[in-house]
């Protein structure tokens, strides 16, 4: 409880310092779930202007904070108690780590004297989370709490962002102390690459006949979209994007060849295989993007630009590595190029492999539905995906206009991401039209968050593509495991429309193609949270596909 006299004397509890420090960091929203060891912090929240969103599972707190951070560019904050509360955060923390999202995870801990005694709800979350955090702290003294919060936020946001964990023992949260003066450890500014390396890169670029940009999510993280578009405009270079970079360049440009990799566009993969220079910007040669690495871009020299020097040369040796701030480096490298034959070739690839939406039959064709919905939703749309076939259909067919309008669990591939990330994004961007595209497998991983949508009247539009199975696993079993289907059948799914209504959401279902236009209208015109259940063919697969372990040049485009 607040002790006015102590506060006037400059003394506050560790929990009060924590809340005050979050407010000072301009945090306005936190996602969490209370419990024993974190109760002092929940008590301090009563007197705070922080908006706390009570989720129904701690994993969703971390994923909602992730969605909030991606949609806003601000730090996302989640809060949980010790033991199971802390372990439930881990998937969300790992998600933020693999996608470089600025996240602050605060966990209660048993009292200091009980740590290491296997106390009730004690786990070593500091130790358990070491592989998936950018940094972490156990706060040992109440007077250190505010300084640790400020340092944690600075670390989470700086350079290559990532999750930072603060573990707060209950006695530290409860004891009163004056604040230690905050001493900001200088976060080093990104280094600038050597002038000689920049000059060499410029020469390589000028001499290239077939240069290609390979754009990664780092462009969005660095808020370098404008610099990138200026670079593209100056050089005229064609480009390909990773899953996380979709939206980085003008979606309608014939020189934007779309996503590369396993479910990438043939135009993107063919261009990569035939380019003579690859300029990699904020990407990391992920295996889903490169396919068989030693056959990836076989004729290309490589210039790799990244704020994280440890990414350069990690998987593919480079001719020139440029570690530093992306906007500055792109501006330094920009130069008009004489590459018209290559541009004509890439535009022809773009045209040749344009997606078609005239699938035969009367079943709902998910790619066409997603395309039409994205066009109808327009520039206000933010799409939050779950993980699976629908995630790849969104990547292939959604008209993504900006990186931050596409939230997807890229590195971790965490089913259950879609709904919590969407609610976090909607709270960060109240004017946006936030649409969650999910599947019948994924939504059940965090179905309880429909209650959170209802409680706070968060107007997320959910499109549930239901193929009555774990579609991506089923597709791989069909193609690579001799059709030996193992534990992928979900034909006994609940009645999702009734389920959503039980949570208090408006909900409706469609199963025929002619119902799609009205469904899109209804989704977009419903003021509150709404779920549209879409029955699709269980046999539908995601095409094209580069088989695992194969070169990106060996795409399959049908099972035959």
Residues 150-169 that bind other proteins (CB under 8 A): 155, 159-160
Residue 310 contacts other proteins per CB under 8 A:
yes
C-beta closer to other proteins: residue 80 or 156: 156
Residue 314 contacts other proteins per CB under 8 A:
yes
Task: Sort residue 27 into left (φ over 0), alpha (ψ -120 to 50) or beta.
Answer: beta
Q: How far is residue 535 from each of residues 73, 369, 437, 440, 466, measured CA to CA in Å? A: 35, 12, 13, 10, 5
C-beta closer to other proteins: residue 138 or 421: 138
In 110-148, where do the E strands start and end? 135-138
Active-site residue 143, yes or no?
no
C-beta closer to other proteins: residue 313 or 341: 313
User: Can you tell me the distance from the alpha carbon of 350 to that of 535, in angstroms, rounded to the nearest whole number?
Assistant: 31
Rg over alpha carbons for the chain, rounded to the nearest Å, is 24
Q: Which one from 25, 58, 143, 311 is the annotated catalytic residue?
A: 58
* Eight-class DSSP state of 313: T
Active-site residue 477, yes or no?
no
User: Can you tell me the distance from the alpha carbon of 66 to that of 226, in angstroms, rounded to the nearest whole number?
Assistant: 23
Residue 130 contacts other proteins per CB under 8 A:
yes
- Tokens representing 273 are 């295989």
Q: Which of 126, 285, 353, 503 binds other proteins (CB under 8 A)?
A: 126
**Which H, E and C letters describe 174-186, residue by residue?**
HCEECCCCCCCCC
Active-site residue 121, yes or no?
yes
User: Can you tell me the distance from the alpha carbon of 379 to that of 219, in angstroms, rounded to the nearest whole number?
Assistant: 20
User: Can you tell me the distance from the alpha carbon of 112 to that of 417, in angstroms, rounded to the nearest whole number?
Assistant: 34
Residue 313 contacts other proteins per CB under 8 A:
yes
Residue 131 contacts other proteins per CB under 8 A:
yes
267 Cβ neighbours under 8 A, 6+ residues apart: 257, 258, 346, 349, 350, 352, 353
Q: Which stretch binds other proteins (CB under 8 A): 219-227, 307-315, 405-413, 429-437?
A: 307-315
Number of Cβ within a 10 Å radius of residue 18: 28
Active-site residue 461, yes or no?
no
Q: Which stretch binds other proteins (CB under 8 A): 31-39, 232-240, 308-316, 369-377?
A: 308-316
Residue 309 contacts other proteins per CB under 8 A:
yes
- Tokens representing 286 are 């992920």
Report, in Å, the least distance between residue 321 CB and other proteins: 10
C-beta closer to other proteins: residue 280 or 339: 280
345 Cβ neighbours under 8 A, 6+ residues apart: 210
Q: Which one from 23, 120, 379, 483 is the annotated catalytic residue?
A: 120
Is there a contact between 153 and 214 (Cβ–Cβ < 8 Å)?
Answer: no
Active-site residue 449, yes or no?
no
Report, in Å, the least distance between residue 240 CB and other proteins: 25
Q: Which one from 25, 472, 496, 555 is the annotated catalytic residue?
A: 472
Q: Which stretch binds other proteins (CB under 8 A): 278-286, 305-313, 357-365, 369-377?
A: 305-313
Beta bridge partners of 76: 103
User: Can you tell me the distance from the alpha carbon of 518 to that of 141, in angstroms, rounded to the nearest whole number?
Assistant: 59
Report, in Å, the least distance between residue 185 CB and other proteins: 9
Report, in Å, the least distance between residue 316 CB and other proteins: 12
Q: Which of 138, 326, 460, 536 binds other proteins (CB under 8 A)?
A: 138
Helix (H, G, I), strand (E, B) or coil at 143: helix
Residue 498 contacts other proteins per CB under 8 A:
no
Measured at the CA of 46, the angle between CA 38 and CA 165, to 5 degrees, comes to 35
Question: Edge-to-edge strand order for the sheet containing 103-109?
Answer: 51-54, 29-32, 76-80, 103-109, 163-169, 135-138
Report, in Å, the least distance between residue 153 CB and other proteins: 13
Report, in Å, the least distance between residue 88 CB and other proteins: 22
Residues 414-453 that bind other proteins (CB under 8 A): none
Report, in Å, the least distance between residue 274 CB and other proteins: 28
Residue 97 contacts other proteins per CB under 8 A:
no
Q: Which of 28, 287, 308, 478 binds other proteins (CB under 8 A)?
A: 308
Size of the site for other proteins (CB under 8 A): 19
C-beta closer to other proteins: residue 154 or 359: 154
C-beta closer to other proteins: residue 57 or 160: 160
Q: Which one from 39, 121, 508, 554 is the annotated catalytic residue?
A: 121
Do you find a cis peptide bond into 134, omega within 30 degrees of 0? no
Is there a contact between 382 and 434 (Cβ–Cβ < 8 Å)?
Answer: yes
Is there a contact between 457 and 528 (Cβ–Cβ < 8 Å)?
Answer: yes
Report, in Å, the least distance between residue 309 CB and other proteins: 5
428 burial type by CB count under 10 A (0-12 exposed, 13-18 middle, 19+ buried): buried
Q: Are strands 433-439 and 461-466 parallel, antiparallel or unpaired?
A: parallel
Report, in Å, the least distance between residue 155 CB and other proteins: 6
Beta bridge partners of 232: none
Q: Which one from 134, 170, 244, 461 is the annotated catalytic residue?
A: 170
Q: Which of 134, 350, 474, 533 binds other proteins (CB under 8 A)?
A: 134
Report, in Å, the least distance between residue 221 CB and other proteins: 15
Residue 287 contacts other proteins per CB under 8 A:
no
Residue 178 contacts other proteins per CB under 8 A:
no
Q: Which stretch binds other proteins (CB under 8 A): 59-67, 274-282, 309-317, 420-428?
A: 309-317
Estimate to the nearest angstrom the gap between the alpha carbon of 457 and the chain centroid: 23
Give me the active site residues, please: 58, 120-121, 170, 472
- Residues forming the site for other proteins (CB under 8 A): 126-127, 130-131, 134-138, 140, 155, 159-160, 308-310, 312-314
């Amino acid at each position: 409880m607040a002790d006015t006299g102590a506060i006037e004397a400059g003394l506050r509890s560790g929990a009060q310092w924590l809340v005050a420090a979050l407010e000072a960091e301009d945090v306005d929203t936190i996602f969490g779930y209370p419990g024993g060891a974190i109760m002092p912090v929940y008590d301090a929240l009563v007197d705070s202007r922080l908006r706390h969103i009570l989720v129904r599972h701690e994993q969703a707190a971390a994923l909602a904070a992730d969605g909030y951070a991606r949609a806003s560019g601000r730090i996302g904050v989640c809060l949980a108690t010790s033991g199971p509360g802390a372990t439930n955060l881990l998937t969300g923390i790992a998600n933020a780590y693999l996608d470089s999202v600025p996240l602050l995870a605060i966990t209660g801990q048993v009292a200091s004297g009980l740590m290491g005694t296997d106390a009730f709800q004690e786990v070593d979350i500091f130790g358990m989370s070491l592989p998936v955090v950018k940094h972490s702290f156990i706060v040992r003294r109440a007077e250190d709490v505010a300084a640790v919060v400020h340092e944690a936020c600075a670390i989470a946001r700086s350079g290559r962002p990532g999750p930072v964990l603060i573990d707060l023992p209950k006695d530290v949260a409860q004891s009163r102390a004056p604040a230690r003066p905050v001493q900001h450890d200088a976060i080093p500014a990104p280094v600038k690459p050597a002038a000689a390396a920049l000059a060499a890169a410029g020469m390589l670029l000028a001499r290239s006949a077939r240069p290609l940009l390979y754009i990664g999510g780092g462009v969005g993280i660095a808020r370098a979209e404008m610099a990138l578009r200026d670079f593209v405009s100056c050089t005229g270079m064609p480009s390909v994007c990773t899953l996380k970079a979709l939206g980085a360049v003008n979606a309608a440009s014939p020189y934007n060849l779309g996503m590369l990799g396993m479910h990438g566009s043939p135009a993107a993969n063919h261009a990569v295989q035939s380019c003579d220079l690859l300029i990699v910007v904020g990407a990391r040669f992920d295996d889903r993007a490169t396919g068989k690495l030693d056959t990836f871009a076989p004729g290309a020299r490589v210039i790799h630009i990244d704020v994280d020097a440890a990414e350069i040369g990690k998987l593919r040796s480079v001719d020139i590595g440029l570690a530093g701030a992306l906007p500055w480096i792109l501006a330094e490298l920009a130069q008009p190029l004489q590459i018209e034959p290559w541009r004509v070739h890439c535009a022809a690839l773009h045209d040749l492999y344009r997606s078609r939406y005239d699938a035969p039959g009367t079943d709902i064709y998910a790619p066409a539905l997603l395309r039409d919905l994205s066009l109808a939703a327009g520039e206000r749309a933010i799409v939050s995906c779950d993980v699976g076939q629908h995630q790849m259909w969104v990547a292939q067919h959604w008209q993504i206009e900006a990186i931050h309008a596409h939230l997807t669990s890229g590195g971790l591939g965490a089913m259950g991401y879609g709904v919590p990330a969407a609610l976090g994004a909607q709270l960060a961007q109240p004017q946006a039209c936030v649409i969650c595209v999910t599947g019948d497998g994924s939504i059940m991983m965090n179905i309880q968050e429909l209650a959170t949508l209802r409680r706070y009247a968060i107007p997320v539009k959910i499109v549930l593509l239901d193929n009555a199975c774990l579609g991506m696993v089923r597709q791989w079993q069909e193609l690579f495991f001799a059709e030996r289907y193992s534990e992928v059948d979900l034909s006994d799914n609940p009645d999702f429309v009734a389920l959503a209504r039980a949570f208090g959401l408006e909900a409706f279902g469609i199963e025929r193609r002619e119902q799609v236009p009205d469904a899109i209208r209804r989704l977009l015109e419903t003021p509150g949270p709404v779920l549209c259940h879409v029955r699709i063919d269980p046999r539908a697969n995601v095409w094209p596909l580069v088989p695992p372990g194969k070169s990106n040049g060996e795409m399959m485009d049908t099972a035959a």
